[in-house]
Amino acid sequence: MKPFLLALALSAAALTPASALAAARAVAPAADTDVQRLVALLAPDEAITRLAGKAFDTGMDQQIAANPERKAAYAADPAMRQAVGGQLRTQFTSALVAALPSLRAEIEGILRTALTPAEVTDMIAFFGSPTGQKVRAEAYERMGSAPGQSPQEMQQAAIAAVMAKMTAEDYPALMAFAGSTASQKMGTVNPRISAASQAWADRLIAANLPKLKALEDRLAADYRARKGGK
């Protein structure tokens, strides 16, 4: 499970000169409601759900490929992969969505102490704008198309894809944000978000993987029983 916000925030932040990324921590914390609005803008439920589903499909395919017995069983009956995988995907996505508030709370805490109220306002204004929404959509599209990439690879792919989609109307907003202290600070904030997101994902997987494996066995057995009874 890769951090959800990393490529998104870096898509704009990486346009800033590297020397500008050593910004100092904020002195005055941002208001809770504004930080919550920002995190909701960066990580909307629908985008996270789609991304999680794609990541699950990739992960399941990798696990099947690494297990000769499972690989042979699913290869012999491709419809079983779809039937079992679809139900597992729904279960995993539900568990992830239920756990999202805890991740958002951690990210809110990081942003609240790292950004000034003005910087939070700047980020809300940018990511709520048509240009910012285009950046966000393209970043999630890149992450979803290759969920196995490293954060650095996601960043590079997201930046290239975003810049390819930019029009003349987008550049003023994009460059204004790239030159802001909010964008500059993301260079130091992103590693903290990445670490918190990875730790959250590890806890989520540890809590749900045994249940998902048991559910897979039961679903596969039920599928074979139904098919054998026809």
Task: Give the CA radius of gyration of the chain.
Answer: 20
At residue 47, the pLDDT reads 81
Measure Cα distances from 62 to 56, 94, 152, 221 in Å. 10, 21, 21, 21
- For residue 16, the model assigns a pLDDT of 33
pLDDT the model gives residue 48: 80
Query: What is the pLDDT of the chain when averaged over all its residues?
Result: 79
φ, ψ dihedrals at 142, nearest 5°: -65, -45
Q: What pLDDT shows up at residue 230?
A: 53
CA 145 to chain CA centroid, nearest Å: 12
By CB atoms closer than 10 A (0-12, 13-18, 19+), residue 114 is buried
Q: Specify the pLDDT at position 148.
A: 61
- What's the confidence (pLDDT) of residue 118? 92
**CA atoms within a 13 Å half-sphere pointing along the CA-CB vector of 114:** 24
Widest distance between CA atoms in the chain? 69
Spans of the chain below 50 pLDDT = 1-28
pLDDT tens track for 154-163: 767 777 877 8
